[in-house]
């Protein structure tokens, strides 16, 4: 039963037990030609020792790569051979992470409690969700339920807000399919709070008009692991049979056009798509829930970071030939909503947001949440935003800014879809 979640103990281990990232470097690479982009993309899907923070997408588009210290000279040789320009944006990742861990450890020692304006552990998030459900504003019913358990037995929770009125449509939001994207759950938790408590007139209007299903942490095992062991871990935590490798990229694992574009079939790769479509328990549970709710959902939004983008299906290329991105038959409908949404977001603080088909905007992929939501669950408007920032290591001061602009986008998205 869900009340037992309050008794669960998720321990954040001492800092000396965490991966230090000593000597890890982050490089920015600048592809100038289509051949450069193709080369970097091939490097991404055929190696398992490079961590692409910003993946190769277009000529002149920045590509960000984290490289372990023992591979620095190897990567340098590969890029020099291709005559690619690059520079070191972070010379030692440990130096960026240490101040963050020192602050977190100090808060833990002082008696850490949930803070909506800070990053929070999995257990703190789950405890807060259960408490908030008891404090929902009048006229609104809040419920926390689990769609199923992760590989390690953690429940995958949804915060539902609804009114017992006939013919109400709904919206779905999920986040943290990639464990290290801490700004995603932090942003989404503030959306839950606003909607549940009616902290502003727009939030009250949205919950008076629609039901909301919000899953702040789709990958609980991975997210918990980023707190206890490896801050920059991306995948889930299931060991792959017959290998020493752990984890599948859940956003390459959904059982729709699985394993075709923009994935790796090497088990240790950060973009490993899994042994088969929908092979992972986390993916299976979300697939089931999207299909269950799909007929009533006006839109789904699967939240990532980082990059200031608002994207939508399809992620694959035509016939998976790697040349031309496949556009949906209703591409113009999705684009019209994406334009309004992205404009609302960027007008909040004067930022710039790309918008459009995900294959065109960023790179080709297959097996993603948004493609499954549209292609199998039948949700017409399936969006995939990449939140603000230029790194996965982002200060807590960015949470409120991220929430404010994202919430503005959600309001305009809903208003535009409802017409």
> For 38-89, what is each residue's pLDDT tens digit?
899 889 989 999 999 998 877 667 899 999 999 999 999 999 999 999 999 9
Does 22 sit behind a cis peptide bond, omega within 30 degrees of 0 on the bond before it?
no
Q: Which pLDDT score, from 0 to 100, does residue 251 have?
A: 97
Domain 20-95 -> CATH class: alpha beta
Does residue 15 carry a pLDDT above 50? no
């019209």: which residue's tokens? 336
> Taking a C-beta distance cutoff of 8 angstroms, is the pair 254, 369 a contact?
yes
Does residue 14 carry a pLDDT above 60? no
Residue ranges of the domains in the chain? 20-95, 122-230+253-418
* pTM for the structure as a whole: 0.94
Closest CA to 175 of 267, 282, 100, 277: 282
Pick the catalytic residue: 202, 289, 386, 405?
Answer: 386
Does residue 1 carry a pLDDT above 50? no
Q: Is 386 a catalytic residue?
A: yes
> Taking a C-beta distance cutoff of 8 angstroms, is the pair 382, 312 a contact?
yes
Is the domain covering 122-230+253-418 a CATH 3.40.630.10 domain?
Answer: yes
Beta strands in 197-318 (DSSP E): 211-215, 297-305, 309-312
The values of phi and psi at residue 123, to 5°, are -65, -40
Q: Which pLDDT score, from 0 to 100, does residue 419 have?
A: 62
Q: Which pLDDT score, from 0 to 100, does residue 6 have?
A: 46
Report the alpha-carbon distance of residue 295 to residue 278 in Å, rounded: 21
Does residue 99 carry a pLDDT above 60? yes
**Helix, strand, coil share (%) of the chain residues, nearest 5:** 40, 20, 40
Residues with Cβ within 8 Å of 84's Cβ and at least 6 positions away in sequence, in order, are 29, 30, 31, 32, 36, 39, 40
Q: Which pLDDT score, from 0 to 100, does residue 159 have?
A: 98
Mean pLDDT of the chain: 93
What value does the mean pLDDT take over residues 282-298? 98
For residue 223, what pLDDT band results from cuts at 50, 70 and 90?
very high
The values of phi and psi at residue 83, to 5°, are 60, 40
Give SS3 for 79.
helix
């Amino acid at each position: 039963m869900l009340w037992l979640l309050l008794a669960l103990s998720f321990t954040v281990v001492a800092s000396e037990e965490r991966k230090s990232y000593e000597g890890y470097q982050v490089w920015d690479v600048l592809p100038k030609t289509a051949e450069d982009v193709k080369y970097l993309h091939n490097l991404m899907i055929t190696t398992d020792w490079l961590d692409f923070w910003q993946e190769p997408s277009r000529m002149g588009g920045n590509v960000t790569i984290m490289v372990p210290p023992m591979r620095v000279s190897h990567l340098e040789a590969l890029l020099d051979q291709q005559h690619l320009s690059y520079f070191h944006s972070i010379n030692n990742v440990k130096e960026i992470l240490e101040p963050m861990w020192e602050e977190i450890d100090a808060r833990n020692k002082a008696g850490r409690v949930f803070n909506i304006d800070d990053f929070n552990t999995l257990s703190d998030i789950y405890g807060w969700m259960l408490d908030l459900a008891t404090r929902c504003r009048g006229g609104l019913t809040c419920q926390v339920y689990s769609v199923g358990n992760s590989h390690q037995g953690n429940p995958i929770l949804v915060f539902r807000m609804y009114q017992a009125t006939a013919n109400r449509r709904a919206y779905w939001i999920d986040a943290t399919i990639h464990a290290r994207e801490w700004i995603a759950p932090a942003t989404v938790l503030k959306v839950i709070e606003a909607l549940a408590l009616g902290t502003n007139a727009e939030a009250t209007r949205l919950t008076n008009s629609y039901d909301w299903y919000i899953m702040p942490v789709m990958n609980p095992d991975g997210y918990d692991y980023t707190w206890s062991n490896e801050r920059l871990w991306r995948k889930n935590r299931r060991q792959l049979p017959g290998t020493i490798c752990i984890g599948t990229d859940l956003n390459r694992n959904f059982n729709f056009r699985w394993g075709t574009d923009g994935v790796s079939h090497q088990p240790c790769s950060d973009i490993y798509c899994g042994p088969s479509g929908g092979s992972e328990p986390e993916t299976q549970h979300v697939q089931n829930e999207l299909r269950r709710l799909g007929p009533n959902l006006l839109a789904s939004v699967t939240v990532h970071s980082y990059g200031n983008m608002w994207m939508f299906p399809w992620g694959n290329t035509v016939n998976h030939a790697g040349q031309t991105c496949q556009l949906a038959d209703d591409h113009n409908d999705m684009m019209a909503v994406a334009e309004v949404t992205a404009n609302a977001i960027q007008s909040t603080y004067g930022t710039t947001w790309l918008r459009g088909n995900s294959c065109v905007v960023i790179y080709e992929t297959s097996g993603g949440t948004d493609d499954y939501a549209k292609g199998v669950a039948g949700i017409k408007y399936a969006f995939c935003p990449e939140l603000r920032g230029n790194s996965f290591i982002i200060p807590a001061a960015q949470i409120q800014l991220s929430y404010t602009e994202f919430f503005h986008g959600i309001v305009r998205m809903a208003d535009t879809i409802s017409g």
